[in-house]
Structure 1
Amino acid sequence: MENMKKLMKKYGHVWILSYGLIYLPWFAALQQNVGKPYHVMHTALDDLIPFNEYFIVPYLLWFLYVAAAIAYFFFTNKDDYYRLCTFLFTGMTISLLVCTLYPNGTDFRPAINPDKNIFCFLVAKLWSIDPCINVFPSIHAYNSIGVHISICRSQTLSKNKPLVWASGILMVSICIATVCLKQHSILDVFGSMLMAMVIYPIAYAPETASRKKYTGTFDF
Structure 2
Amino acid sequence: MAPDKDTKLAKYRPLLWILIIPLLNICYGLLNHEGSRVSNLMTELDAQIPFVPAFIIPYMLWYPFIMVMLIVIFRKSEKTYYQTLITLCVGLVVSYVIYYFYQTTVPRPPVTEHGVIPSLVRFIYMTDQPYNCFPSIHVLTSYLVWKGSADCEDLSFISRSLISVMMGAIVLSTLFVKQHYILDIAGAIFIVQVLYYFTGKMLPVKLRVQNKASINKPLNE
TM-score range, shorter chain: 0.7 to 0.9
Cα offset, 1:20, TM superposition: 3.1
Cα offset, 1:47, TM superposition: 0.7
TM-score, structure 1 as length reference: 0.82
Task: Please list, as runs of the form range in 1=range in 2, the aligned pairs for 1:1-220 lying within 5 A after superposition.
Answer: 6=7, 9-14=10-15, 16-20=17-21, 22-31=23-32, 33-34=33-34, 36-75=36-75, 77-107=77-107, 109-115=108-114, 117-157=115-155, 160-205=156-201
TM-score, structure 2 as length reference: 0.81
Distance 1:186 1:103 in 2: 16
Aligned to 1:215: none
Distance 1:123 1:39 in 2: 23
Distance 1:183 1:121 in 2: 16
Cα offset, 1:175, TM superposition: 0.8
Q: What is the percentage of aligned positions where both structures have the same residue?
A: 25
CA contact (8 A) 2:83 2:196 kept: no
Distance 2:146 2:10 in 1: 28
CA contact (8 A) 1:30 1:134 kept: yes
CA contact (8 A) 2:136 2:188 kept: yes
Cα offset, 1:9, TM superposition: 4.8
Cα offset, 1:72, TM superposition: 2.7
- For structure 1, the 5+ residue unaligned runs are 210-220
Distance 2:47 2:201 in 1: 38
Cα offset, 1:206, TM superposition: 6.2
RMSD: 2.6
CA contact (8 A) 2:134 2:183 kept: yes
Q: What CA deviation, in whole Å up to 9, does each residue of 1:3-30 have, x standing for no partner? A: 6985785344245334236412211111
Larger radius of gyration: 2
CA contact (8 A) 1:39 1:103 kept: yes
Distance 1:184 1:200 in 2: 23
Distance 1:64 1:58 in 2: 10
Cα offset, 1:208, TM superposition: 9.5
Partner secondary structure for residue 112 of structure 1: coil
Partner secondary structure for residue 106 of structure 1: coil
Cα offset, 1:139, TM superposition: 0.7
CA contact (8 A) 1:114 1:124 kept: no
Aligned to 1:216: none
Distance 2:152 2:90 in 1: 20
